[in-house]
Amino acid sequence: MVDYIVVGLGLAGISFCETLRKHRKTFLVFDDVSQQASQVAGGLYNPVILKRFSPVWMAQQQLEEALPFYAELETLLNVKLDHKLPVLRRFVSVEEQNLWFEATDKPGLSAFLSTKVLSNGNSLIDAPFGFGEVLHTGRIDTRTLYQAYRNFLVTEQILMEESFDCAQLSIIDNSVEYKGIAAKNLVFCNGFGLKTNPFFGYLPLNGTKGELLRVKIEGLRLEAVLKSSVFLIPLGDDEYYLGATYEWHDKTNTVTKKAKEELLSKLATFLKSTPVVLAQEAGIRPTVTDRRPLVGTHPLHNNIHLLNGLGSRGVMIAPFAAKRLYDSIENGIAIPAEMNIQRFVAKYRPA
């Protein structure tokens, strides 16, 4: 018997597996690579919602847990994951500058927003009103993380590269059994795959498709993330991630011409150069109606659990949410009400 079966290996699954490993729990992972949102992501950690100049929910606590978490993974996997990068918010008017200055005095924001307006010195960028700088930001290389952690699990012989079929699951009083494998607990971390889950499919996981371009812009030499109507994330050698789109109806991982044109059109509003598109990717973000994660234990089965709904800020919140779920299961510590799936339990209808 193992302590846990974990289904899914995106940011949620990796974060929970690492939490288990550090507490010396035994586990087995099932992953069929059907969900790509964690890989098709810019990987930014940014404590500020730049559209509204407002703080991310529990940003300070998330960063305090996430940054040491990724540093430990770098050591375990012997890879570079955390790339420290400032985030520059392009101002479009004097009024927007004033709103920024007002935001720097707000609780929860003062530690993250610089009070200086940075002037634009890049001839390829149109930014006559300058930039505001967000502090304590960077990029986690989620692609490298996924592949390196997957390889680690393969080496440890604890990764099953196959779909998890809930129809073959048996639930016993104090354990579950799946294809002859017994486990004390089962945790679903499979992102948008939740929609077909018979235990948690009632939860309001919407799923938002996002598309991302990898582009080359000769001579731009950007050394910070630039956020305007789209973001540009430097990757080195004048290559950048350009993203991202938000599509609420299409639930496929297929890239579209429409998204490509939308991203390039928005980039053209402030870039005085023509980018070369190197690649295009798409994935479905596991988004929730109230923009909070889905974390907790099934209302009828106390050994079946969920870690999901990380949305577009999975890099920041995944380690934080994984720790809360672990502490709930193993130590009986209450999950914060804002992320606990109990907030939706009144809508639960047993099959």
Domain ranges of the chain: 2-40+143-205+289-347, 86-136, 208-284
Give per-residue burial for 157-170: e unless 16+ CB within 10 Å, then b.
Answer: ebbbeeebeeeebe
User: 213 pairs with which residues across the strands?
Assistant: 242, 280
Q: How far is CA 219 from CA 23, 89, 222, in A?
A: 48, 21, 9
pLDDT for residue 350 is more than 50: no
Question: For residue 36, which phi and psi values (nearest 5 degrees)?
Answer: -115, 5
Mean pLDDT of all residues in the chain? 93
What is the architecture, at CATH level 2, of domain 208-284? 2-Layer Sandwich (3.30)
State the sign of the Cα–Cα–Cα–Cα dihedral 124, 125, 128, 134.
negative
Please confirm whether the linkage preceding 244 is cis (ω < 30° from 0).
yes
**Cβ atoms within 10 Å of 142's Cβ, excluding its own:** 21
- Distance, in Å, from the CA atom of 102 to the CA atom of 111, rounded to the nearest integer, reads 13
| For residues 85-113, average pLDDT | 93
Residues 2-40+143-205+289-347, CATH architecture: 3-Layer(bba) Sandwich (3.50)
> What length is written for the chain?
351
Q: How far is CA 212 from the centre of its chain?
A: 14
The mean per-residue pLDDT over the stretch 287-303 comes to 94
Average pLDDT over residues 329-338: 97
pTM of the entire predicted model: 0.93
The three-point CA angle 332-338-342 to 5° equals 60
Largest interatomic CA distance in the chain: 66
Instruction: Kindly give the residue spans of alpha helices, DSSP state H, lying in 230-350.
Output: 257-267, 314-331
Question: How is residue 336 annotated by DSSP?
Answer: P
The owner of tokens 């392009």 is 90
Give the residues across from 297 on adjacent strands: 305
* pLDDT computed for residue 34 by the predictor: 63
Q: Where are the beta strands (DSSP E) in 93-162?
A: 113-118, 131-134, 138-140, 159-160
At 348, the pLDDT band (50, 70, 90 cuts) reads low
**pLDDT band at residue 351 under the 50/70/90 scheme:** very low
